[in-house]
Structure 1
Protein backbone atom coordinates (compact mmCIF):
# COMPACT_ATOMS: atom_id res chain seq x y z
CA UNK A 1 0.00 0.00 0.00
CA UNK A 2 1.27 3.41 -0.82
CA UNK A 3 0.64 6.32 1.40
CA UNK A 4 -0.48 9.60 -0.07
CA UNK A 5 1.95 12.38 0.62
CA UNK A 6 0.69 15.85 1.23
CA UNK A 7 2.57 18.60 -0.48
CA UNK A 8 3.16 21.78 1.51
CA UNK A 9 1.48 24.86 -0.01
CA UNK A 10 3.72 27.22 -1.84
CA UNK A 11 3.96 30.78 -0.65
CA UNK A 12 2.49 32.15 -3.87
CA UNK A 13 -0.72 30.01 -3.82
CA UNK A 14 -3.82 32.21 -3.81
CA UNK A 15 -7.15 31.34 -2.30
CA UNK A 16 -10.27 31.82 -4.35
CA UNK A 17 -12.78 34.25 -2.91
CA UNK A 18 -16.50 33.59 -3.21
CA UNK A 19 -18.16 35.31 -6.17
CA UNK A 20 -19.74 38.70 -5.55
CA UNK A 21 -23.51 38.81 -5.16
CA UNK A 22 -24.14 40.14 -8.66
CA UNK A 23 -21.89 37.61 -10.36
CA UNK A 24 -23.25 35.46 -13.18
CA UNK A 25 -23.37 32.41 -10.92
CA UNK A 26 -25.68 34.17 -8.47
CA UNK A 27 -28.14 35.41 -11.09
CA UNK A 28 -30.16 32.23 -10.64
CA UNK A 29 -30.20 32.85 -6.88
CA UNK A 30 -31.50 36.38 -7.41
CA UNK A 31 -34.11 35.07 -9.85
CA UNK A 32 -35.40 32.60 -7.24
CA UNK A 33 -35.48 35.31 -4.57
CA UNK A 34 -37.39 37.61 -6.94
CA UNK A 35 -39.83 34.83 -7.78
CA UNK A 36 -40.46 34.14 -4.10
CA UNK A 37 -41.05 37.85 -3.48
CA UNK A 38 -43.61 37.90 -6.31
CA UNK A 39 -45.39 34.81 -4.93
CA UNK A 40 -45.59 36.34 -1.45
CA UNK A 41 -46.81 39.63 -2.94
CA UNK A 42 -49.49 37.83 -4.94
CA UNK A 43 -50.77 36.06 -1.81
CA UNK A 44 -50.75 39.37 0.05
CA UNK A 45 -52.78 41.06 -2.69
CA UNK A 46 -55.45 38.32 -2.82
CA UNK A 47 -57.24 39.55 0.31
CA UNK A 48 -57.49 36.06 1.76
CA UNK A 49 -59.40 35.75 5.02
CA UNK A 50 -57.08 33.47 6.97
CA UNK A 51 -59.32 33.65 10.03
CA UNK A 52 -62.14 31.97 8.15
CA UNK A 53 -59.76 29.41 6.71
CA UNK A 54 -58.68 28.28 10.19
CA UNK A 55 -62.11 28.66 11.81
CA UNK A 56 -64.13 25.98 13.58
CA UNK A 57 -66.71 26.01 10.79
CA UNK A 58 -64.01 25.31 8.20
CA UNK A 59 -62.72 22.40 10.29
CA UNK A 60 -66.27 20.98 10.56
CA UNK A 61 -66.76 21.33 6.83
CA UNK A 62 -63.46 19.55 6.13
CA UNK A 63 -64.36 16.80 8.60
CA UNK A 64 -67.76 16.32 6.95
CA UNK A 65 -66.06 16.14 3.54
CA UNK A 66 -63.57 13.49 4.75
CA UNK A 67 -66.31 11.52 6.52
CA UNK A 68 -68.16 11.09 3.24
CA UNK A 69 -65.25 8.94 2.01
CA UNK A 70 -65.60 6.38 4.81
CA UNK A 71 -68.57 4.34 3.64
CA UNK A 72 -68.30 4.38 -0.16
CA UNK A 73 -71.49 4.98 -2.05
CA UNK A 74 -72.50 1.66 -3.59
CA UNK A 75 -75.97 2.61 -4.68
CA UNK A 76 -76.91 1.25 -8.11
CA UNK A 77 -77.56 4.67 -9.64
CA UNK A 78 -74.15 5.97 -8.52
CA UNK A 79 -72.34 2.85 -9.73
CA UNK A 80 -74.11 3.05 -13.09
CA UNK A 81 -72.94 6.68 -13.45
CA UNK A 82 -69.38 5.62 -12.62
CA UNK A 83 -69.54 2.71 -15.08
CA UNK A 84 -70.89 5.01 -17.80
CA UNK A 85 -68.12 7.54 -17.14
CA UNK A 86 -65.45 4.81 -17.20
CA UNK A 87 -66.84 3.41 -20.47
CA UNK A 88 -66.90 6.89 -22.00
CA UNK A 89 -63.28 7.47 -20.94
CA UNK A 90 -62.14 4.15 -22.43
CA UNK A 91 -64.04 4.88 -25.65
CA UNK A 92 -62.44 8.35 -25.88
CA UNK A 93 -58.94 6.92 -25.45
CA UNK A 94 -59.50 4.07 -27.90
CA UNK A 95 -61.00 6.30 -30.59
CA UNK A 96 -58.36 9.00 -30.00
CA UNK A 97 -55.58 6.44 -30.33
CA UNK A 98 -57.13 4.97 -33.49
CA UNK A 99 -57.42 8.41 -35.08
CA UNK A 100 -53.86 9.20 -34.01
CA UNK A 101 -52.50 5.97 -35.48
CA UNK A 102 -54.12 6.68 -38.86
CA UNK A 103 -53.05 10.34 -38.90
CA UNK A 104 -49.58 9.51 -37.55
CA UNK A 105 -49.01 6.95 -40.29
CA UNK A 106 -50.24 9.41 -42.92
CA UNK A 107 -47.84 12.07 -41.63
CA UNK A 108 -44.97 9.63 -41.10
CA UNK A 109 -44.61 8.87 -44.80
CA UNK A 110 -43.71 12.42 -45.88
CA UNK A 111 -41.72 12.92 -42.66
CA UNK A 112 -39.31 10.12 -43.42
CA UNK A 113 -36.52 9.71 -45.94
CA UNK A 114 -37.20 6.45 -47.77
CA UNK A 115 -33.70 5.94 -49.19
CA UNK A 116 -30.31 7.64 -49.20
CA UNK A 117 -30.87 9.64 -52.40
CA UNK A 118 -34.41 10.71 -51.50
CA UNK A 119 -34.72 14.52 -51.50
CA UNK A 120 -37.67 14.35 -49.08
CA UNK A 121 -38.89 17.87 -49.79
CA UNK A 122 -41.79 17.49 -47.34
CA UNK A 123 -39.67 16.06 -44.54
CA UNK A 124 -38.85 19.29 -42.67
CA UNK A 125 -42.35 20.85 -42.68
CA UNK A 126 -44.00 17.55 -41.77
CA UNK A 127 -41.57 16.99 -38.90
CA UNK A 128 -42.29 20.53 -37.75
CA UNK A 129 -46.01 19.72 -37.66
CA UNK A 130 -45.32 16.47 -35.77
CA UNK A 131 -43.12 18.28 -33.27
CA UNK A 132 -45.75 20.97 -32.75
CA UNK A 133 -48.48 18.38 -32.20
CA UNK A 134 -46.28 16.42 -29.82
CA UNK A 135 -45.05 19.40 -27.82
CA UNK A 136 -48.50 20.58 -26.72
CA UNK A 137 -49.87 18.43 -23.87
CA UNK A 138 -53.29 16.81 -24.06
CA UNK A 139 -54.70 19.06 -21.36
CA UNK A 140 -53.76 22.18 -23.32
CA UNK A 141 -55.23 20.68 -26.49
CA UNK A 142 -58.43 19.95 -24.55
CA UNK A 143 -58.61 23.54 -23.28
CA UNK A 144 -58.11 24.86 -26.82
CA UNK A 145 -60.62 22.46 -28.34
CA UNK A 146 -63.29 23.25 -25.76
CA UNK A 147 -63.68 26.57 -27.54
CA UNK A 148 -64.29 25.03 -30.96
CA UNK A 149 -65.72 21.59 -30.18
CA UNK A 150 -67.62 22.40 -27.00
CA UNK A 151 -67.71 20.63 -23.67
CA UNK A 152 -67.93 16.85 -23.89
CA UNK A 153 -66.10 13.75 -25.00
CA UNK A 154 -65.49 14.99 -28.55
CA UNK A 155 -63.01 17.66 -27.41
CA UNK A 156 -61.20 15.12 -25.22
CA UNK A 157 -61.01 12.61 -28.05
CA UNK A 158 -59.59 15.21 -30.42
CA UNK A 159 -57.11 16.39 -27.78
CA UNK A 160 -55.82 12.85 -27.30
CA UNK A 161 -55.74 12.32 -31.06
CA UNK A 162 -53.77 15.51 -31.77
CA UNK A 163 -51.07 14.91 -29.18
CA UNK A 164 -50.76 11.19 -29.91
CA UNK A 165 -50.58 11.90 -33.64
CA UNK A 166 -47.37 13.81 -33.03
CA UNK A 167 -45.92 11.04 -30.88
CA UNK A 168 -46.90 8.14 -33.15
CA UNK A 169 -46.03 10.04 -36.33
CA UNK A 170 -42.50 10.62 -35.07
CA UNK A 171 -42.14 6.98 -34.00
CA UNK A 172 -43.50 5.71 -37.31
CA UNK A 173 -41.22 8.04 -39.30
CA UNK A 174 -38.15 6.83 -37.43
CA UNK A 175 -39.21 3.22 -37.88
CA UNK A 176 -39.66 3.76 -41.62
CA UNK A 177 -36.23 5.39 -41.89
CA UNK A 178 -34.60 2.58 -39.92
CA UNK A 179 -36.05 -0.10 -42.18
Structure 2
Protein backbone atom coordinates (compact mmCIF):
# COMPACT_ATOMS: atom_id res chain seq x y z
CA UNK A 1 0.00 0.00 0.00
CA UNK A 2 1.45 3.30 -1.12
CA UNK A 3 2.03 5.87 1.56
CA UNK A 4 0.27 9.16 1.25
CA UNK A 5 2.56 11.92 -0.03
CA UNK A 6 3.71 14.19 2.72
CA UNK A 7 3.05 17.90 2.50
CA UNK A 8 6.11 20.02 1.71
CA UNK A 9 7.56 21.89 4.66
CA UNK A 10 6.41 25.49 5.01
CA UNK A 11 8.64 28.06 3.33
CA UNK A 12 9.54 30.31 6.25
CA UNK A 13 11.57 32.61 4.04
CA UNK A 14 8.60 33.07 1.68
CA UNK A 15 6.31 33.97 4.56
CA UNK A 16 8.92 36.35 5.94
CA UNK A 17 9.27 38.13 2.57
CA UNK A 18 5.49 38.35 2.21
CA UNK A 19 5.19 39.80 5.71
CA UNK A 20 7.87 42.41 4.94
CA UNK A 21 6.11 43.42 1.71
CA UNK A 22 2.77 43.81 3.50
CA UNK A 23 4.43 45.80 6.28
CA UNK A 24 6.07 48.07 3.69
CA UNK A 25 2.72 48.67 1.98
CA UNK A 26 0.98 49.50 5.26
CA UNK A 27 3.87 51.77 6.27
CA UNK A 28 3.69 53.56 2.93
CA UNK A 29 -0.01 54.30 3.33
CA UNK A 30 0.59 55.53 6.87
CA UNK A 31 3.57 57.68 5.90
CA UNK A 32 1.83 59.35 2.94
CA UNK A 33 -1.28 60.04 5.05
CA UNK A 34 -3.56 59.92 2.01
CA UNK A 35 -7.23 60.40 2.77
CA UNK A 36 -8.93 58.29 0.11
CA UNK A 37 -12.33 59.02 1.62
CA UNK A 38 -12.10 62.54 0.19
CA UNK A 39 -12.39 61.05 -3.31
CA UNK A 40 -15.87 59.74 -2.61
CA UNK A 41 -17.49 62.69 -0.95
CA UNK A 42 -20.56 64.16 -2.64
CA UNK A 43 -18.71 67.37 -3.43
CA UNK A 44 -15.73 65.58 -5.02
CA UNK A 45 -17.93 63.28 -7.07
CA UNK A 46 -19.94 66.28 -8.26
CA UNK A 47 -16.82 68.15 -9.36
CA UNK A 48 -15.50 65.09 -11.20
CA UNK A 49 -18.83 64.47 -12.89
CA UNK A 50 -19.07 68.08 -14.05
CA UNK A 51 -15.50 68.03 -15.37
CA UNK A 52 -16.04 64.78 -17.30
CA UNK A 53 -19.32 66.03 -18.77
CA UNK A 54 -17.49 69.02 -20.26
CA UNK A 55 -15.58 66.66 -22.60
CA UNK A 56 -18.79 65.60 -24.39
CA UNK A 57 -19.65 65.76 -27.16
CA UNK A 58 -16.18 65.73 -28.77
CA UNK A 59 -15.41 68.22 -31.52
CA UNK A 60 -15.90 66.28 -34.76
CA UNK A 61 -15.84 69.21 -37.15
CA UNK A 62 -13.98 68.51 -40.39
CA UNK A 63 -11.31 71.11 -39.76
CA UNK A 64 -10.43 69.89 -36.27
CA UNK A 65 -10.56 66.21 -37.24
CA UNK A 66 -8.07 66.95 -40.04
CA UNK A 67 -5.86 68.80 -37.56
CA UNK A 68 -6.03 65.86 -35.15
CA UNK A 69 -5.24 63.38 -37.93
CA UNK A 70 -2.14 65.38 -38.81
CA UNK A 71 -1.09 65.31 -35.15
CA UNK A 72 -1.60 61.53 -35.09
CA UNK A 73 0.63 61.11 -38.15
CA UNK A 74 3.22 63.30 -36.45
CA UNK A 75 3.07 61.17 -33.31
CA UNK A 76 3.42 57.99 -35.37
CA UNK A 77 6.41 59.43 -37.23
CA UNK A 78 8.09 60.54 -33.99
CA UNK A 79 7.72 57.08 -32.46
CA UNK A 80 8.91 55.29 -35.60
CA UNK A 81 11.94 57.54 -36.09
CA UNK A 82 12.89 57.39 -32.41
CA UNK A 83 12.61 53.58 -32.41
CA UNK A 84 14.64 53.15 -35.61
CA UNK A 85 17.42 55.39 -34.30
CA UNK A 86 17.40 53.44 -31.04
CA UNK A 87 17.62 50.09 -32.86
CA UNK A 88 20.70 51.23 -34.78
CA UNK A 89 22.44 52.75 -31.75
CA UNK A 90 21.38 49.92 -29.44
CA UNK A 91 22.74 47.28 -31.81
CA UNK A 92 26.09 49.09 -32.03
CA UNK A 93 26.39 49.38 -28.25
CA UNK A 94 25.15 45.82 -27.68
CA UNK A 95 28.21 44.34 -29.36
CA UNK A 96 30.78 45.60 -26.82
CA UNK A 97 28.23 45.31 -24.01
CA UNK A 98 27.94 41.58 -24.69
CA UNK A 99 31.71 41.07 -24.26
CA UNK A 100 32.89 41.55 -27.83
CA UNK A 101 35.75 43.99 -27.53
CA UNK A 102 37.17 43.25 -24.10
CA UNK A 103 36.34 43.96 -20.50
CA UNK A 104 36.95 47.71 -20.66
CA UNK A 105 34.67 48.18 -23.68
CA UNK A 106 32.03 46.04 -21.97
CA UNK A 107 32.01 48.15 -18.83
CA UNK A 108 32.02 51.45 -20.71
CA UNK A 109 29.19 50.46 -23.05
CA UNK A 110 27.09 49.09 -20.19
CA UNK A 111 27.62 52.32 -18.27
CA UNK A 112 26.39 54.30 -21.28
CA UNK A 113 23.34 52.07 -21.67
CA UNK A 114 22.52 52.34 -17.97
CA UNK A 115 22.84 56.11 -18.12
CA UNK A 116 20.60 56.44 -21.17
CA UNK A 117 17.76 54.35 -19.80
CA UNK A 118 17.96 55.70 -16.26
CA UNK A 119 16.90 59.16 -17.47
CA UNK A 120 13.11 59.24 -18.18
CA UNK A 121 11.84 60.20 -21.61
CA UNK A 122 10.25 63.39 -20.29
CA UNK A 123 13.60 64.58 -18.95
CA UNK A 124 15.32 63.77 -22.24
CA UNK A 125 12.53 65.62 -24.06
CA UNK A 126 13.01 68.73 -21.92
CA UNK A 127 16.75 68.66 -22.68
CA UNK A 128 16.21 68.06 -26.40
CA UNK A 129 13.71 70.93 -26.59
CA UNK A 130 16.46 73.19 -25.25
CA UNK A 131 18.94 71.77 -27.77
CA UNK A 132 16.82 71.33 -30.90
CA UNK A 133 13.80 73.56 -30.22
CA UNK A 134 10.13 72.77 -29.75
CA UNK A 135 8.80 70.27 -32.25
CA UNK A 136 8.68 66.62 -33.32
CA UNK A 137 12.45 66.31 -33.78
CA UNK A 138 13.04 66.91 -30.07
CA UNK A 139 10.50 64.20 -29.25
CA UNK A 140 12.13 61.72 -31.63
CA UNK A 141 15.57 62.37 -30.12
CA UNK A 142 14.23 61.94 -26.59
CA UNK A 143 12.65 58.60 -27.47
CA UNK A 144 15.79 57.49 -29.29
CA UNK A 145 18.06 58.24 -26.33
CA UNK A 146 15.99 56.41 -23.72
CA UNK A 147 15.07 53.50 -26.00
CA UNK A 148 18.72 53.04 -26.98
CA UNK A 149 19.49 52.25 -23.36
CA UNK A 150 16.62 49.77 -23.12
CA UNK A 151 17.12 47.99 -26.44
CA UNK A 152 20.91 47.99 -26.14
CA UNK A 153 20.69 46.14 -22.83
CA UNK A 154 18.14 43.64 -24.19
CA UNK A 155 20.16 43.10 -27.38
CA UNK A 156 23.33 42.54 -25.35
CA UNK A 157 21.66 39.99 -23.07
CA UNK A 158 20.30 38.04 -26.04
CA UNK A 159 23.82 37.99 -27.55
CA UNK A 160 25.28 36.75 -24.26
CA UNK A 161 22.71 33.93 -24.07
CA UNK A 162 23.15 32.86 -27.70
CA UNK A 163 25.61 30.00 -28.35
CA UNK A 164 28.96 31.21 -29.67
CA UNK A 165 29.90 27.96 -31.42
CA UNK A 166 28.56 28.87 -34.91
CA UNK A 167 30.39 32.21 -34.88
CA UNK A 168 33.59 30.64 -33.57
CA UNK A 169 33.43 27.88 -36.18
CA UNK A 170 33.22 30.48 -38.94
CA UNK A 171 36.16 32.38 -37.45
CA UNK A 172 38.26 29.20 -37.33
CA UNK A 173 37.34 28.53 -40.96
CA UNK A 174 38.87 31.84 -42.01
CA UNK A 175 35.86 34.17 -42.00
CA UNK A 176 36.26 37.74 -40.83
CA UNK A 177 34.76 39.00 -37.60
CA UNK A 178 31.91 40.83 -39.32
CA UNK A 179 30.99 37.89 -41.57
CA UNK A 180 31.21 35.42 -38.69
CA UNK A 181 28.89 37.54 -36.59
CA UNK A 182 26.45 38.20 -39.46
CA UNK A 183 26.12 34.52 -40.38
CA UNK A 184 26.83 32.83 -37.05
CA UNK A 185 25.26 34.85 -34.25
CA UNK A 186 22.93 37.40 -35.82
CA UNK A 187 20.42 34.85 -37.21
CA UNK A 188 20.10 33.35 -33.72
CA UNK A 189 19.25 36.63 -31.99
CA UNK A 190 17.39 38.42 -34.78
CA UNK A 191 13.94 37.02 -33.82
CA UNK A 192 14.37 38.30 -30.26
CA UNK A 193 15.67 41.63 -31.48
CA UNK A 194 12.66 42.10 -33.73
CA UNK A 195 10.24 41.16 -30.93
CA UNK A 196 11.92 43.63 -28.57
CA UNK A 197 11.82 46.33 -31.23
CA UNK A 198 8.11 45.91 -31.94
CA UNK A 199 7.28 45.90 -28.24
CA UNK A 200 9.27 49.08 -27.62
CA UNK A 201 7.64 50.71 -30.65
CA UNK A 202 4.22 50.08 -29.11
CA UNK A 203 5.41 51.69 -25.89
CA UNK A 204 6.96 54.61 -27.75
CA UNK A 205 3.63 55.35 -29.44
CA UNK A 206 2.14 56.01 -26.01
CA UNK A 207 5.16 57.94 -24.81
CA UNK A 208 5.33 60.05 -27.99
CA UNK A 209 1.83 61.30 -27.21
CA UNK A 210 2.92 62.25 -23.69
CA UNK A 211 6.10 64.02 -24.84
CA UNK A 212 3.99 66.67 -26.50
CA UNK A 213 3.33 68.11 -23.04
CA UNK A 214 6.94 69.30 -22.94
CA UNK A 215 7.09 70.45 -26.56
CA UNK A 216 7.65 67.17 -28.39
CA UNK A 217 4.96 67.79 -31.00
CA UNK A 218 2.13 65.52 -32.13
CA UNK A 219 -1.05 64.67 -30.29
CA UNK A 220 0.40 65.44 -26.87
CA UNK A 221 1.11 69.03 -27.82
CA UNK A 222 -2.42 69.39 -29.17
CA UNK A 223 -3.86 67.90 -25.98
CA UNK A 224 -1.80 70.18 -23.76
CA UNK A 225 -2.81 73.26 -25.75
CA UNK A 226 -6.55 72.61 -25.66
CA UNK A 227 -6.57 71.54 -22.02
CA UNK A 228 -4.65 74.67 -21.05
CA UNK A 229 -7.34 76.90 -22.58
CA UNK A 230 -10.20 74.73 -21.23
CA UNK A 231 -11.38 73.43 -24.61
CA UNK A 232 -12.47 70.03 -23.35
CA UNK A 233 -14.45 68.91 -26.47
CA UNK A 234 -11.33 69.39 -28.60
CA UNK A 235 -9.24 67.62 -25.97
CA UNK A 236 -11.66 64.68 -26.06
CA UNK A 237 -11.17 64.38 -29.82
CA UNK A 238 -7.42 64.21 -29.29
CA UNK A 239 -7.85 61.54 -26.59
CA UNK A 240 -9.95 59.45 -28.96
CA UNK A 241 -7.24 59.79 -31.62
CA UNK A 242 -4.62 58.65 -29.09
CA UNK A 243 -6.66 55.58 -28.23
CA UNK A 244 -7.29 54.75 -31.89
CA UNK A 245 -3.60 55.12 -32.74
CA UNK A 246 -2.50 52.83 -29.91
CA UNK A 247 -5.07 50.18 -30.88
CA UNK A 248 -4.05 50.40 -34.55
CA UNK A 249 -0.33 50.01 -33.81
CA UNK A 250 -0.97 47.18 -31.35
CA UNK A 251 -3.05 45.34 -33.98
CA UNK A 252 -0.48 45.91 -36.74
CA UNK A 253 2.38 44.79 -34.50
CA UNK A 254 0.57 41.61 -33.50
CA UNK A 255 -0.25 40.79 -37.12
CA UNK A 256 3.36 41.38 -38.14
CA UNK A 257 4.69 39.05 -35.47
CA UNK A 258 2.22 36.34 -36.46
CA UNK A 259 3.08 36.78 -40.14
CA UNK A 260 6.82 36.47 -39.54
CA UNK A 261 6.32 33.25 -37.61
CA UNK A 262 6.19 31.91 -34.06
CA UNK A 263 9.86 32.64 -33.46
CA UNK A 264 9.20 36.36 -33.87
CA UNK A 265 6.05 36.48 -31.70
- TM-score, with length taken from structure 2: 0.43
Of residues 70, 78, 82 in structure 2, which corresponds to 1:84?
Answer: 70
Match of 1:113 in 2: 99
Counterpart-to-counterpart distance in 1, 2:87 and 2:55 = 40
Counterpart-to-counterpart distance in 2, 1:66 and 1:168 = 38
Counterpart-to-counterpart distance in 2, 1:67 and 1:126 = 51
1:145 equivalent in alignment to 2:128: yes
1:136 equivalent in alignment to 2:122: no
TM-fit CA distance, 1:145: 1.2
- 8 A Cα contact 1:112 1:120, kept in partner: no
Of residues 52, 56, 61 in structure 2, which corresponds to 1:70?
Answer: 56
As a proportion of its length, which structure holds more helix? 2
- 8 A Cα contact 2:90 2:155, kept in partner: yes
Of residues 80, 94, 106 in structure 2, which corresponds to 1:123?
Answer: 106
Match of 1:160 in 2: 143
Runs of 4+ in 1 over 6 A off after TM superposition: 32-36
Unmatched runs of 5 consecutive residues or more in structure 2: 1-28, 34-42, 163-265
TM-fit CA distance, 1:70: 2.1
Superposed CA RMSD: 3.3
| Larger CA Rg, structure 1 vs 2 | 1
Unmatched runs of 5 consecutive residues or more in structure 1: 1-31, 37-53
